[in-house]
Amino acid sequence: MDAPLHEPSLYAVKAIAILDNDGERLLSKYYDDTFPSSKEQRVFEKNLFNKTHRANAEIIMLEGVTCVYRSNVDLFFYVMGGSHENELILVSVLNCLYDSISQMLRKNVEKRMLLDHLDAVMLAVDEIIDGGIILEADPNAVVSRIALRMDDVPLTEQTVAQVLQSAKEQIKWSLLK
């Protein structure tokens, strides 16, 4: 007998998570109700970390969820989809997330730098996925959009250092003309 075919869906991603080397959540975003409460999400993340932190694989099926992951220094990046989701699509999202963060942090992808730039990392996640639908898989496009958003911060919300830097840039360009 043939297995039943599943309808294709735009909702490819169930969740994204970034954990530290102790399995603690630094950033996670869930797009459906597979794990409805924060407690269930944390239990799943802890279980996922315990299964993957020593493994050299890139994919795992856990509790009916397909998880692709990647580690770097003291961070673990996870992208999760349904049990019938195409792993290559999930890997492309994972690579886009990792490469975008790597470009933003100037290849210094570690916990301290990620926490210092958490706002930009959250923007990257939002640029890549919206409500479980993959919007972008090109890290260069993600980084350029984030740079545009970061430049458009209203003057009242900028720090003094940002205002001074902006003023220096404007003076430099006016003198070079």
Q: If we measure between CA atoms, which residue out of 135, 18, 119 comes closest to residue 70?
A: 18
Q: Tokens representing 63?
A: 């509790």
CATH number of the structural domain 13-176: 3.30.450.60
Residues 6 or more apart in contact with residue 90 via CB below 8 angstroms: 12, 13, 66, 68, 79, 80, 81
pLDDT tens, residue order, the chain (177 aa): 555 666 777 788 999 999 998 989 999 999 998 888 999 999 999 999 999 888 777 899 988 899 999 988 889 999 999 888 888 999 999 999 999 999 988 888 888 988 888 888 999 999 999 988 999 899 999 998 888 765 555 555 556 666 777 777 777 777 775
Query: Domain boundaries in the chain?
Result: 13-176
Distance CA 174, CA 177 (A): 5
